[in-house]
């Protein structure tokens, strides 16, 4: 609950002005925000009530509900800022729009403290399954919310790089913990070396973009620089496609071995897919439109 206290204490959370399409409006109307209690999760519903996913103390719930009633405007600002952030810095909603639509546009946004802001983990679930079937939620992906710096330097390539490396490390730890030792050793030997090498290439490509271009690029770049930047991002996307290929093989083998760690491979593949689509749709697409002089 500390994360929500920190957010509520701010004077305002203004999101830049932007126009929502009908899909985004539906997501905003049905968005649930998720925070942590001591022993479970707590969700803020669109009607500003709270739902708990497990056992929770009465005093926790009373304090949380009082916070919602005291700061309804802050909650509304936060939801709009989250949506603006997703529209600008990810293709997460576009990639998963089918699953969101069939679940009546209900999206759960989990807030996890991460300097200098919050890591957002997004899920979807049928409305009638909350809260009793909360465990059946579908993972959509992760993103970063930095309230004081809504525009990310270098189109957010630093977060993309760091997040994937962090998640690969967590996946390896979970594999060791959840799979029998011979299975874990086999999967690490056959797949993790290849993924690690590819992520070294991803890191080098991301570092190069940060080193060779200004933080606000592509703003202010001339056409040759834009073409170079577009090429760099496209090459980064190609590396991520290769990462996904290796993870697909790892996922298949993990399911054959029936290890519970397989679902974490699936989540990491989801993150990679979201990153590929973000680079293709939101980065390469925007730069190409600028070079081509396309204004829709």
Q: Which domains does the chain have, with CATH numbers?
A: 2-145 (no CATH), 153-292 (1.20.120)
pLDDT at position 1, please? 64
Nearest-angstrom CA–CA distance, 64 and 71: 11
Nearest-angstrom CA–CA distance, 166 and 208: 20
What is the distance between the terminal CA atoms of the chain, rounded to a whole angstrom? 43
| C-alpha 294 chain-centroid distance | 29
Q: Which of 114-123, 134-143, 164-173, 236-245 has the lowest mean pLDDT?
A: 114-123
Question: Average pLDDT, whole number, for the chain?
Answer: 93
Q: What is the pLDDT of residues 61-84, one digit of tens each?
A: 999 999 999 999 999 999 999 999
């Amino acid at each position: 609950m500390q994360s929500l206290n920190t957010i509520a204490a701010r004077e305002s959370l203004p999101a830049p002005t932007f126009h929502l399409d009908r899909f985004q409006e539906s997501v905003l109307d049905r968005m649930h925000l998720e925070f942590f209690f001591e022993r479970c999760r707590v969700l803020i519903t669109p009607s500003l009530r709270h739902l708990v996913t497990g056992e929770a103390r009465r005093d926790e719930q009373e304090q949380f509900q009082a916070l919602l009633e005291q700061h309804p405007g802050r909650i509304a600002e936060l939801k709009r800022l989250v949506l603006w952030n997703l529209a600008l810095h990810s293709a997460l909603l576009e990639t998963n729009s089918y699953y969101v639509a069939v679940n009546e546009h209900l999206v759960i946004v989990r807030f996890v403290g991460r300097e200098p802001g919050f890591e957002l983990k997004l899920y979807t679930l049928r409305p009638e399954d909350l809260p009793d079937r909360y465990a059946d939620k579908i993972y959509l992906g992760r993103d970063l919310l930095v309230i004081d710096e809504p525009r990310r330097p270098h189109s957010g390539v630093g977060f993309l790089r760091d997040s994937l490396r962090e998640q690969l490390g967590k996946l390896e730890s979970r594999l060791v913990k959840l799979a029998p030792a011979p299975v874990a050793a086999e999967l690490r030997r056959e797949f993790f070396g290849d993924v690690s090498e590819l992520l070294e290439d991803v890191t080098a490509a991301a570092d190069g973009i940060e080193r060779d271009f200004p933080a606000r690029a592509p703003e202010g770049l001339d056409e040759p620089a834009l073409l170079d930047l577009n090429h760099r991002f496209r090459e980064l996307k190609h590396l991520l496609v290769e990462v996904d290929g290796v993870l697909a093989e790892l996922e298949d083998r993990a399911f054959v071995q029936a290890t519970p760690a397989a679902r974490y491979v699936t989540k990491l593949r989801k993150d990679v897919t979201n990153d590929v689509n973000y680079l293709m749709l939101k980065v390469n697409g925007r730069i190409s439109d600028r070079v081509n002089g396309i204004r829709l």
